[in-house]
Chain A
């Protein structure tokens, strides 16, 4: 079975400071991992994905994530938060060979203070 845990339901940062959103996964096989962002009353937009190539993945809007197999983690980071980054972020795992079904984490709401 696979699962994904987002360790913080809410994260608050000041504008211009670093962002860290934590995600741990469990999977018996080598997973594909994704981060999605959702702004209020909108659909989900893909930020970045890991599919067994480089372990440091760069995404849109300055976000990046590092796949650490030994720690079963896929934390999302950004060096400097912008007010427009305030949104809900979802860590997602896909088990290869399982028909492309995705398992979603519970989400982390990022708040950015001026």
Chain B
């Protein structure tokens, strides 16, 4: 079945460490997105990519980095520069310039210990 897979489901990070969250899709979607969700809040866009080897900053890109070397993969690195990284991270994908909405992964919960 086609879908979008995020791993790991839970991730613990020590302060000062970089961590990378994985997002893989086999839907042949052109566009991919990373969102951050904090308790009781909506989704905030971190980064997005509409084609391979190209990505754009979203509303809260500081302290994060991404790459898009393959169409299927859009990993997110949470760097030590992100001062408050504890959150739920959601990856999504879509057919570019479509009105069909996004397909979401099941999320990664990152906790700083």
Contact = CB atoms under 8 A, between A and B. Distances in A.
| A and B together in one complex | yes
B100 A49 contact: yes
A41 B42 contact: no
A43 B33 CA distance: 13
B102 interface: yes
A34 B101 contact: yes
Interface stretch (B64-72, B73-81, B90-98): B90-98
A49 B43 contact: no
Contacts, number: 57
A32 to B, nearest CB: 4
29 contacts: A9-B40, A32-B99, A32-B101, A34-B101, A36-B101, A41-B107, A42-B107, A43-B104, A43-B105, A43-B107, A44-B92, A44-B104, A45-B104, A46-B101, A49-B99, A49-B100, A90-B42, A92-B101, A94-B101, A96-B99, A99-B50, A99-B96, A99-B97, A100-B94, A100-B98, A100-B99, A101-B48, A102-B102, A104-B42
Interface of A: 9, 32, 34, 36, 41-46, 49, 51, 90, 92, 94, 96, 99-102, 104-107, 109
